[in-house]
Amino acid sequence: MQSVIPLLKFEPIFLSKPWGGDRIASFFSTSPKSLIPSSCGEAWLLSDVPDNPSRLAEGKYKGKEIGFLIKEYGADLLGEKCYQTYQHRFPLLIKIIHAQKPLSIQVHPKDQQVEEKHGQRGKTEMWYILETKEKAQVISGFHKKTSEKEFGTVLKSENEQDIFQYLKQIQVKKGDAFFVPAGRIHGIGRGILLAEIQESSDITYRVYDFGRDRQLHIKQALSVLDFHDTQGQKVENLSKNRIVSDYFVVQRLDISKPTITNEQNLNSFRVYLSVRGKGKILDEQKQTYLSQAGDCHLIPATHKKLRLEPLSQDWEILNIHVP
């Protein structure tokens, strides 16, 4: 018998970063300011990363970690296929990032490159741009094909201008989306607020860090970079063009009137991440959940039919699940 599990909302985890600023504090308007550090660069909304697991914000199991809930509800929460694949681990990490200064130029490894060494998965991710300053840019892939030897020599020079000649720089605006597979060199430029959906992993190899006094990982990065990857490009209109990968599926829902979503054929949990505006989510038992910008609800796989009622005309949700 399937469990009747409520929609689950977790406490955000706020992390100070050397490139962070104050925008996350205002974006999460209902969170106590005392919980948000200065120079906040990331808010982890749904995490099963060992050092920073999400804790339930309300209800019967308030304060319990997400791993406890997966053990308690199993496939009823994750979906049968997902549960068989990941067992008691939640497969995604969902966060909001504010780059007041540019993030490092970096790359993430693939699953098979790190599972044995680190006991973690690799890191394929996607970005959804929420806000930008004028002329803000991201880096996604190489500008031209290169080689390990050639690019390694450029990195050793530590000359920013020479390094950037190899990188594909793309100007961004609100509503743009990017798919960033493991192995692709990338970076988030200054003046960007975005949502990031990724595999549940925190492994990053930095190759350039704008003079900040942090460790670089040149050797590791050169061993996993795809030097022929020049395919980085934005995904226009995420409400029509889903991002589909082996690890996640993401689509934007624009809710301007009451809407029924019915996922009878989906064998996965869903996550509804509100990125703009606000509204109400009603489940099959008529339980109502308020959702506004920054709120992230984990919808158990047993919930197939939901009603979405906007409380503002600009309510936008990222609908996230595993394939």
The reply to whether 31 and 151 lie within a common domain is: yes
Q: Which of 203, 235, 267 is the last residue of a domain?
A: 235
Q: Do 145 and 274 have their domain in common?
A: no
Mean of pLDDT over the chain: 94
Euclidean distance between CA atoms 264 and 241, whole angstroms: 21
The total of other beta-carbon atoms located within 10 Å of residue 134's CB is: 7
Q: Does residue 261 share a domain with residue 169? A: no
Whats the size of the chain, residue-wise? 323
Sheet holding 278-282, edge to edge: 259-262, 305-310, 278-282, 288-292
Beta bridge partners of 250: 243, 320
Predicted local distance difference test score (pLDDT) of residue 304: 94
What is the pLDDT at residue 116? 63
Q: Is residue 2 part of a domain?
A: no
pTM assigned to the model: 0.95
Q: Which domain holds residue 130?
A: 8-235
d(CA 206, CA 223): 12
Does the pLDDT of residue 33 top 90, yes or no?
no
Q: Is the pLDDT of residue 152 over 80?
A: yes
In this model, does residue 2 exceed pLDDT 70? no
Task: Please indicate, yes or no, whether residues 14 and 77 belong to a single structural domain of this protein.
Answer: yes
What band does 1 get if pLDDT is binned at 50, 70 and 90? very low
The DSSP element (H or E) to which 177 belongs, if any, is strand 177-180
Beta pairing partners, 49: 52
| CATH code assigned at 94 | 2.60.120.10
How does pLDDT run across 274-291, given as a tens digit for each residue? 999 999 999 999 999 999
- Shared domain for 263 and 128, answered yes or no, is no
Q: Among the three residues 235, 251, 273, which one is the final residue of a domain in this structure?
A: 235
pLDDT at 117: 66
How far, CA to CA in Å, does 165 sit from each of 57, 282, 317? Answer: 46, 51, 36
The answer to whether residues 49 and 189 belong to one domain is yes
If one counts the domains in the chain, the total is: 2
* pLDDT tens per residue across span 117-140: 666 789 999 999 999 999 999 999
Confirm whether 317 is domain-assigned: yes
Mean pLDDT of 56-76: 96
DSSP element (H, E) containing 315: strand 315-321
Cα pseudo-dihedral 260, 265, 267, 270, rounded to 10: -20
Report CA dihedral (130, 111, 203, 78) to the nearest 10 degrees. Answer: 60
